[in-house]
Amino acid sequence: MSTIAIFGNYVLSRRDGAQEVLRDHWVLLEGRRIAAVTRDRPSATEVFDRPGRFVLPGLMNLHNHCFSEAVARTHTEDGNGRRNNQSIVYTVLLPLTKRGADLLSPQERLAIARLGILQLLKGGATTVMEPFRNTIPEMFDAAEEMGIRFFGAPYLFSTSDAKAGPDGVVHYAGDDGQADMDTWNALYQRWNRRGDGRIGLAMSPHATDTCGPDLLRACAARARELDIPITTHLAQSQAEVATIGSRHGGRTPAEYLDWLGLLAPDLMAVHCIASTDGDLKLMAARGATVLNCPRVFARSGVTAAFSRFAEHGVRTVVGTDGYNMDLLGELNAASMISKIASARADVANAPDLIESVTATAAAVIKRPDLGTIAPGATADLTVVDLTHPHLQPLFDPRRGLVTLGNRANIDQVIVDGRVLIDAGRYIHGDETAMVSAASAAIGKIWDLPEAQAAFNG
């Protein structure tokens, strides 16, 4: 069995259920497991003895949209693409990725998917959960071939054709979701547990306003039959709150999900920025998780503070959503935005934020073998290079990581005992070729007349 030994000036371990930072330790990997954490140098087939490394459990990014992000990047900042300052979800992201997915060949879609996975890995994540249009099954191919731990979350919609008119008002249309459930089941049959078990699926009804009661109930029943997580966008905007209230007897989006039996420990509710304090108390009581993605909202002047959810007692994890998949950068944003929102320096501290993307994230998806460095755990690691001038000298590695670190400091990403990123580069493919193939495919989407109209109409 191949063995790998990695030296860390700091190793983030656990003792009595809490984080413990070890100084000058080795982590020994045997095959797909962590075999030991030792003071003395173990013998191994491959040894990484680099100075100034911080060895962390593999970081988990449980909400990202790397396909649509690659398509939309730099088109939607500074208010571009918004109508009446409404969300770009219905003006740009959903309509264009739908058209793009239909227009491109499987090879072109695969090229974009590879770029996305490359970006996620280089952002420091070993495990990701990616909700995406079910017309882009190539996300699974890219994830399997590139070696990341991947929970694919193909969308289900009752109204797959939701799009905003010239006034920014969303018009909902589409089928009842049965076709999406059939597709989801086919993808589950094909992909679940592929890649030596690294590939899994999550149930992913798109959002409360695009999924009706029957579809949401069916999603929950199927997910619970399979014992897999459920994730959906919840209270993303005030417009969504108004839509759900008018459709469903004044209920808030969280109350709507609770009415349907979805508000439970297996639910990862994404964003919740328009949730009331009462909604958050309800979510805490039900054991649901908030997936907090602060930076994508900061882009549009909206505060999504990690500390607000955590202070209501809701289990909260951090993901990057469809924008800039630098997980260290996102933790930094979570820290800063929480401090500004609460006018306090002590909220959303570094250990809490690191916990959210390691042990807490692992608990949410019921994978106690992930998110921890301990003998017997799965050999997923993120190794950060702390030798950069902005990180030396350093007295607290966790604070350094969250307040000063970013994706350019990622040294290694190891999944299932296999080194995928080394010295900051993906070592199983040509990064330059991957970027140019994806760029060519994305260019085709932006040649579409409706892509131009999204910004001028």
Considering only residues 426 to 445 of the shown chain, the ones binding Zn ion according to CB under 5 A are: none
Rank residues 30 and 321 by Cβ distance to Zn ion and give the closer one.
321
Neighbouring C-alpha atoms within 13 Å toward the C-beta of 218 = 18
For residue 7, the tally of other CB atoms under 10 A from its CB is 18
Non-local (6+) Cβ contacts of 238 within 8 A are 274
Rank residues 9 and 97 by Cβ distance to Zn ion and give the closer one.
97
Query: Is 69 a residue that touches Zn ion (CB under 5 A)?
Result: no
Q: What are the C-alpha distances in Å from 124 to residues 60, 223, 410, 422?
A: 8, 28, 6, 11
Rank residues 180 and 321 by Cβ distance to Zn ion and give the closer one.
321
Non-local (6+) Cβ contacts of 277 within 8 A are 312
Nearest residue to 331 via CA among 279, 404, 392, 388? 404
Question: CB of residue 45 vs Zn ion: minimum separation in angstroms?
Answer: 41
Considering only the stretches 24-32, 121-129, 205-213, 316-324, report the one whose residues sit in contact with Zn ion under the rule CB under 5 A.
Answer: 316-324
Rank residues 255 and 321 by Cβ distance to Zn ion and give the closer one.
321
The CB-nearest residue to Zn ion is 321
Considering only the stretches 175-183, 238-246, 315-323, 395-403, report the one whose residues sit in contact with Zn ion under the rule CB under 5 A.
Answer: 315-323
Question: CB of residue 63 vs Zn ion: minimum separation in angstroms?
Answer: 6
Rank residues 146 and 273 by Cβ distance to Zn ion and give the closer one.
273
| Among 321, 330, 352, 411, contact with Zn ion (rule: CB under 5 A) | 321
Question: CB of residue 65 vs Zn ion: minimum separation in angstroms?
Answer: 6
Rank residues 130 and 255 by Cβ distance to Zn ion and give the closer one.
130
Considering only the stretches 83-91, 300-308, 314-322, 402-410, report the one whose residues sit in contact with Zn ion under the rule CB under 5 A.
Answer: 314-322
Question: CB of residue 135 vs Zn ion: minimum separation in angstroms?
Answer: 17
**Residues 84, 273: Cα–Cα separation, whole Å:** 19
Rank residues 191 and 323 by Cβ distance to Zn ion and give the closer one.
323
Non-local (6+) Cβ contacts of 339 within 8 A are 307, 345, 347, 348
Question: CB of residue 443 vs Zn ion: minimum separation in angstroms?
Answer: 24
**Residues 336, 342: Cα–Cα separation, whole Å:** 10
DSSP SS3 for 361: helix
Question: CB of residue 89 vs Zn ion: minimum separation in angstroms?
Answer: 8
**Residues 282, 303: Cα–Cα separation, whole Å:** 21
SS percent in the chain: helix, strand, coil, step 5: 40, 25, 35
Binding mask 263-302 for Zn ion (x = CB under 5 A): ----------------------------------------
**Residues 390, 404: Cα–Cα separation, whole Å:** 7
Question: CB of residue 410 vs Zn ion: minimum separation in angstroms?
Answer: 23
Q: Can you read off the two tokens belonging to residue 319?
A: 């993901």
Question: CB of residue 321 vs Zn ion: minimum separation in angstroms?
Answer: 5
Rank residues 269 and 383 by Cβ distance to Zn ion and give the closer one.
269
Non-local (6+) Cβ contacts of 280 within 8 A are 254, 272, 290, 308, 309, 312, 314
Rank residues 321 and 385 by Cβ distance to Zn ion and give the closer one.
321
Q: Which residues of the shown chain bind Zn ion in the complex (CB under 5 A)? A: 321
